[in-house]
Structure 1
Amino acid sequence: MRKVIYATNITIDGCCDHTKGIADDELHEYFTELLRGMGLLAYGRKTYELMVPFWPGVAKTQSMGKATNEFAKVFDSIEKLVFSQTLERVDDKNTTISRAKPEEEILKLKQGEGKPISLGGVALSSHLIALGLVDEYHFVVQPFIAGEGTRLLKGITLPATLGLKLVESKVFKSGCVALKYVKQ
């Protein structure tokens, strides 16, 4: 059975906005290593359009620093699944569009063999978290209070408190803290 892993940057006050935080070499190296273990990246349309074509473009041009370029290469090499009812086509060779209900598709993929499925973004991930389909969480807590922005699980009611067990942590020079949790 495949694991479903949710990984995100989050501020101290719960903001998951990609523009609020640090994106230095150390964090790119952390997320690159995490991506290396993934077999599939699953996104909603909004997150997908933030990531593609930007990262495949960086992978092709190698126009950023060493750690960022490596992240882009690894990201570009992984199969992607984008859930959308409106996206008509994708230009990325490794991307498939799904019109299925995300929970049904993820459950089906989870029951198969292969490397873990990585979730990105907030809306799709929040929905799948509420349904109990996420097995592992990687939060990189940014040393900021944003005061605004997209929040994880906003507008979502969990059926019960979700118990997690901390299994790993790492403090970065920037003050960011990576926390890895598994579902209890």
Structure 2
Amino acid sequence: MRPLRYSINVTLDGCCHHEAGLPPDEESMRYWTDQMGRADALLFGRVTYEMMESAWRRPAAGPWPDWMDEWEIPFAETIDRAEKHVVSSTLSRVDWNAELVRGDLGDAVRRLKEEPGEGLFVGGVTLPLALADLGLIDEYEFLVQPVLAGHGPTLLAGLRERIQLELVDRRELGSGTVAVRYRPA
């Protein structure tokens, strides 16, 4: 069974809005490129899927956009080619190497986890909360940034039951960001 890993950037005060933390730098982009490269597939809700697609899908014309730094291209290429599963009750179709996940969320994700492979990667805010409540997340990976946002969505806000975790990995980045990975105890 392949593990489901929830991975996200988070500020010290728990904000997980993508604009609340530090802007990406070369080291953090290398870190996320490596982590995504370890996943067989990505699992997104509609909002995260659309946000990631608008930023990281290779343009039909071919070259990456001018705003993208050279050190962002490996991440863009990794996410662009990745297999994606999108949980949505409002989208009627997806593309960008993606398929819609329909029906009971728990059953659908259990089926994805039962497929052979190294693992699944889930990002976002709403979908991971539902998956955590169902006990389906096998690892929690956070890039904790040295920023106090003071506002915005917070990590797993509304979780029904406390989840005790054990630290399995920790790494400090040059920016002061700390990458931590936990498993349910």
Matching residue of 2:86: 82
Shift of 1:90: 2.2
Matching residue of 1:124: 127
Greater displacement, 60-69 / 78-87: 60-69
Q: Aligned-pair RMSD on alpha carbons?
A: 1.5
Matching residue of 1:172: 173
Tell me: CA distance 1:58–1:152, structure 2 relative to 1, closer, same or farther (3 Å): farther
Matching residue of 1:30: 31
Alignment partner of 1:151 is 2:154:
yes
Shift of 1:58: 6.6
Taking the aligned partners of 1:126 and 1:52, their CA distance within structure 2 comes to 21
Q: Normalization by structure 2: what TM-score?
A: 0.92
Percent identity over paired residues? 39
Matching residue of 2:9: 9
Q: Which segments of 5 or more consecutive residues in structure 2 lack a partner in the other structure? A: none
Task: Flag as ranges the 4+ runs of structure 1 deviating above 6 A.
Answer: none
Shift of 1:99: 2.1
Q: Deviations over 1:61-114 (max 9, x none)?
A: 23322321110000111100001111122241x110122222211111112211
Q: Normalization by structure 1: what TM-score?
A: 0.92
SS of alignment partner, residue 7 of structure 1: strand
Shift of 1:115: 2.3
Q: Deviations over 1:24-80 (max 9, x none)?
A: 111000000001110110011011110013201379423322321110000111100
Pick the aligned partner of 1:62 from 52, 64, 82: 64
Tell me: CA distance 1:20–1:58, structure 2 relative to 1, closer, same or farther (3 Å): farther
Query: Conserved in 1, the CA contact under 8 Å of 2:102 and 2:108?
Result: no
Matching residue of 2:145: 142
Query: Conserved in 2, the CA contact under 8 Å of 1:12 and 1:144?
Result: yes
Greater displacement, 82-91 / 6-15: 82-91
SS of alignment partner, residue 137 of structure 1: strand
